[in-house]
Amino acid sequence: MRSMVLLGTAIICLFYIPMFKWFSELIVSTSRVGIILYWIGLTVISILIGVRILGKSLGGETK
Amino acid sequence: MRELYIAVLLLFFMAGSIVAWLSRRFIGRGSREFFVGGYRVGGFISAMTYAATTYSAFMMVGLVGLTFTGGVAALGFELVYLAATVIILGVVGPTIWREARRRGWISPSEMLADLYGSNVVGIGVSLLYLFTLVPYTSAQLKGVGEIFSSIGLGYEYGVLFAFVATAFWILVAGLWSVAMTDAFQGIWMLGSSIAVTIWVVAFLLPSANIDYNTFIESLSGSSSGDLLSFTWSPQMFLGLTIPWIFFALTNPQVVQRLYIPRDERSYARTVKYFALYGFMYTIICVFLGMAFRSYVALRGGDAENILLKNRDLVTPYMLTLSHPLLAAVAYVGITAAAISTANSIVLTVSSSVVRDLYEKLVVKPNERASRIAAVSAILILLTLALASSMMRIGYIVELSVISSAGLLPLAPITIAGIVGSGRRPIKRGKLLYPVISILIGESILIYAVVIHGVSRALTAPLLFSLPSPVWIVLGSTLAIIPLIAERKV
């Protein structure tokens, strides 16, 4: 549970990486829609982690 | 167009009122039923009221405009909110849901008062809600007034319509009528935005010969720079996102929604359906902003410059190009978003007023008197919002923008209170810590407003190039560290 919470927090921090110019330029040079895909990917992972944590918090009843 | 909008709006109001009226069969006696539906709302309705409460007219107007002017950064701004919210709802949400029914919480200020064993905390937080959320409600009424005004129906009639719909849909059956009409409005909001997206993809973009490649090229080479890259300043991104990632813990209208699911399965459904709704709605609004920027840029003319100067006009201008029926349905969708946010805020703030101000100050409160106090609080709050909207007080909008930052100091004390809820009770001498935490946060915000003005208070660098929300969270957290340390011993 604790590791999942830490992982979720780390994912939220990753949302802020495109603030750094070198990263956003790198990702856009790889794909024009790279930042869009990056944030959408992080969101999907966050939702999956959130739902997993929720399942554990509620005692596995949601599985 | 005007006649069509009136017809669709009347249809919307009648359907919403029927839904509100039918919801009366669910309500029982007492303030617990009126404010939190007796903790027995189903998963789908809980999810839809959570979504409709969270997503205001800002999405189809503000976010579309923000994307139009600033590009893809707006997507990160809105998605980091959603991601953080789903994690918060997974980590601390179940404890809030469980403790609410165990301890009988009705208002979020009552939750904080109970967690810290202090009425002073409850009263202080209630007053903070009043100060920050009445302007936010005014802004919602004002938004409906602006829609009426843009169609030539008169600003005042729009504000009055929003007032009547909000008051009626709250008073019919409290949380039950609010939640049921929120579900109806949430479906309308999402449905109308999907309809606009289909029109943009099927008709608007092809009419300007825009395919995928020209779409990407036009955004990359826009007059505002590469809109597919990160164009905001780090301070703006931090300043706007930090109040939002804690929104689920700081804004009482959504905290109270965590009390209402009837069982664990309903709570889990609430989170899952909300995540799905939020993801779809965000992608749609950001896509509309990008698509219309591409369309306007490739069509040429003055529209791009005009819309860049006033981004709130992007959606209304886009809808003038669509079929009047689609525009009317979309405008009603925006109206629904404003009303569904306003009615939830008013219901929640009035619950705080009744539970933490009226019932704490009156020696022997009874159920009937509390019910009268609740109705009075709802009407007074709405009348205050109506009056300030009618007077078109300029700073109402600015105050509503910083209201999320005004509530930000509540995040550390809420997390600390919930996480420590199963541990040893707090000693009486330490009860001032949460109050100090709030005061430090508010002081930093006031300082930022004085230094930079209301419009730049959240996004301008305050210290070490970091904007005020970072310092508000840090300052408020530092103030309660002794309390956290003591509870761990």
Mean pLDDT calculated for residue range B439-451: 94
Of B86, B91, B230, which is closest to A47 when you measure between CB atoms? B86
Q: Are B370 and B31 in contact (CB under 8 A)?
A: yes
What is the structure's pLDDT at B56?
86
The minimum CA-CA distance between A51 and chain B, rounded to whole Å, is 6
Q: Which residue has the higher pLDDT, B311 or B163?
A: B163
B311: its two tokens: 């981004």
Q: Count the neighbouring beta carbons within 10 Å of the beta carbon of residue B251.
A: 27
pLDDT in tens, B296-328: 999 877 888 999 988 888 998 999 999 999 999
d(CA B383, CA B375): 12
B21: its two tokens: 């009226």
B319: its two tokens: 């809808």
B220: its two tokens: 């990359």
Say if the Cβ atoms of B87 and A49 lie within 8 Å: yes
Amino acid residing at B318 = M
Of A8, A36, A50, which is closest to B75 when you measure between CB atoms? A36
| A window 22-61, beta carbon within 8 A of B | 24-25, 28, 32-33, 35-36, 39-40, 42-43, 46-47, 49-55, 57-59, 61
**Chain B residues touching chain A at CB-CB below 8 Å:** 72-73, 75-76, 79-80, 82-84, 86-87, 89-91, 93-95, 216, 220, 226, 228-230, 234, 237-238, 241, 245, 264-265, 267-268, 271-272, 275, 279, 283
What's the whole-number average pLDDT of chain B? 90
pLDDT-based confidence at residue B399 (cuts at 50, 70, 90): low
Q: Are B96 and B258 in contact (CB under 8 A)?
A: yes
What is the structure's pLDDT at A61?
45
Task: Give just the sign of the alpha carbon dihedral B29, B35, B38, B44.
Answer: positive
The minimum CA-CA distance between B84 and chain A, rounded to whole Å, is 7
**pLDDT per residue rounded down to tens, chain A (63 residues):** 889 999 999 999 999 999 999 999 999 999 999 999 999 999 999 999 999 999 998 875 443
pLDDT in tens, B89-130: 999 999 999 999 999 999 999 999 999 888 889 999 999 998
Say if the Cβ atoms of A52 and B90 lie within 8 Å: yes
Interface size A-B, in CB pairs within 8 Å, comes to 116
Mean pLDDT calculated for residue range B200-223: 94
Task: Tell whether the model's pLDDT for residue B415 goes beyond 70.
Answer: yes
Mean pLDDT calculated for residue range B444-472: 92
Domain B2-395 top-level CATH class: mainly alpha
Task: Give just the sign of the alpha carbon dihedral B362, B368, B372, B374.
Answer: positive
Mean pLDDT calculated for residue range B439-445: 95
Q: Which residue of B has its CA nearest to A19?
A: B234
pLDDT in tens, B41-83: 999 999 999 999 999 888 888 899 999 999 999 999 999 999 9
Of A21, A39, A57, which is closest to B79 when you measure between CB atoms? A39
Task: Tell whether the model's pLDDT for residue B38 goes beyond 70.
Answer: yes
Say if the Cβ atoms of B245 and A61 lie within 8 Å: no
Task: Tell whether the model's pLDDT for residue B403 goes beyond 90.
Answer: no
Mean pLDDT calculated for residue range B175-199: 96
What is the structure's pLDDT at B355?
87
Say if the Cβ atoms of A47 and B275 lie within 8 Å: yes
Residues of B in contact with A39 (CB under 8 A): 72, 75-76, 79-80
Residue B364, classed as helix, strand or coil, is coil
Task: Tell whether the model's pLDDT for residue B160 goes beyond 80.
Answer: yes
Task: Tell whether the model's pLDDT for residue B28 goes beyond 90.
Answer: no
Q: Count the neighbouring beta carbons within 10 Å of the beta carbon of residue B375.
A: 17
Q: Which residue of B has its CA nearest to A10?
A: B84
Percent of chain B surpassing pLDDT 90: 68
What is the structure's pLDDT at B136?
86
pLDDT-based confidence at residue B474 (cuts at 50, 70, 90): very high
Say if the Cβ atoms of A58 and B94 lie within 8 Å: yes
pLDDT in tens, B287-304: 999 999 999 999 877 888
Residue B427's φ and ψ, nearest 5 degrees, are: -70, 150
Say if the Cβ atoms of B230 and A24 lie within 8 Å: yes
Task: Tell whether the model's pLDDT for residue B427 goes beyond 80.
Answer: no
